[in-house]
Amino acid sequence: MNLKRGISCGISEMLSRISLSANFRTGFRVLLYHSVGTRTDLKTSGVYYVTPDLFQRHMSILKELKGISVVGFEEGNGYGDTLEVAVTFDDGFKDNLSEAVPILTELEIPFTVFVSRKHIKYDASEYLNEAELKELAAWPGATIGAHGANHLPLAPLDQSEIWHEVHDSKNYLEDLLGKPVLTMSYPFGSLNHVVRDVVEKAGYLRAACRHWGINDAYNDRLLLYRTPIHAEDTERIFIQKLKGFWDWHGRFQRDQKIYE
Ligand SMILES: [Zn+2]
């Protein structure tokens, strides 16, 4: 475990110990996964993978713990008296189909995979190709969302370039899958108010950030917070994340201003 991760674990553990509430707070929490098994280098990509075994344990917790309702990314609203949790994946790794889908299907957990055209069309070594993406999209509970045409950070681009990235990726996926694509996630979590407004104009109803936090009934649906999941997230840490004891990270993210 590196120093930064060690400090994060220590602070979150301390917050969980001084918390008076044993219950989950209500709201809509969106989990962010990437690869399930393919990437294994903890040092460089701990935030980009979990092992299939760990993923299985996380998903079992979602089904077993009282006070949690598992919902699709496009459905959660933060009303109600349970914690709503959605499972999402960025980038469309091949192992999402081979490793994650069997676990999710067995447990009847809906999920959303955000994919970029560039990876699907031109990078079949690590990412789903077109045939595999179609296969994944046909599974019960699966939703495909966009993740930019070329997987570029959107905030540095000008308005027409942003439009190209978000509009073309939507059109490409709709043609390929034969159904509307109404959700997206921002590549690298890169966004500003211009990006957000172009995404709305392109016809998306929901978009996921990489900013830590839990959503309530009033959050902008095009700026939905997520909760990144890490290769070293034991059951204890996973439950801490579900309860919000890691959300303090959001306050230290560079893009905090956008959400205030
Ligand atoms: Zn990405």
22 CA to middle of ligand 1, Å? Answer: 34
Confidence of residue 251 (pLDDT cuts 50, 70, 90): confident
DSSP labels for 5-54?
A: HHHHHHHHHHHHHH----SPPPEEEEEEE-EESS---HHHHGGGEE-HHH
Residue 45 covered by a domain: yes
Residue 93 covered by a domain: yes
Inter-residue contact 88 to 32 (CB < 8 Å): yes
Confidence of residue 196 (pLDDT cuts 50, 70, 90): very high
126 CA to middle of ligand 1, Å? Answer: 13
35 CA to middle of ligand 1, Å? Answer: 11
76 CA to middle of ligand 1, Å? Answer: 22
DSSP labels for 171-226?
A: HHHHHHHSS---EEE-GGG---HHHHHHHHHTT-SEEEEEEE--B-TTS-TTSEEE
187 CA to middle of ligand 1, Å? Answer: 5
89 CA to middle of ligand 1, Å? Answer: 9
Residue 14 covered by a domain: no
66 CA to middle of ligand 1, Å? Answer: 32
Q: Is the pTM of this model over 0.85?
A: yes
Residues 95-109, mean pLDDT to the nearest whole number = 97
Residues 94-112, mean pLDDT to the nearest whole number = 97
24 CA to middle of ligand 1, Å? Answer: 29
Q: Measuring CA to CA, which residue among 84, 149, 139, 140 is closest to residue 114?
A: 149
For residue 225, the domain's CATH number is 3.20.20.370
Domain total in the chain: 1
DSSP labels for 127-150?
A: B--HHHHHHHHTSTTEEEEE--SS
Compute the mean pLDDT over every residue in the chain, rounded to the nearest whole number. 91
Residue 254 covered by a domain: no
- Token pair, residue 68, equals 């949690």
pLDDT score recorded for residue 214: 94
Distance, in Å, from the CA atom of 134 to the CA atom of 128, rounded to the nearest integer, reads: 9
Q: Is the pLDDT of residue 190 over 80?
A: yes
Residue 241 covered by a domain: yes
Inter-residue contact 146 to 166 (CB < 8 Å): yes
Q: Who has greater pLDDT, 146 or 23? A: 146
Residue 215 covered by a domain: yes
Q: Which domain holds residue 200?
A: 24-248
120 CA to middle of ligand 1, Å? Answer: 12
Residue 260 covered by a domain: no
Residue 143 covered by a domain: yes
48 CA to middle of ligand 1, Å? Answer: 10
Structure confidence by residue, pLDDT tens digits, 29-83: 999 999 998 776 666 656 788 999 999 999 999 999 999 999 999 999 998 889 9
pLDDT score recorded for residue 38: 77
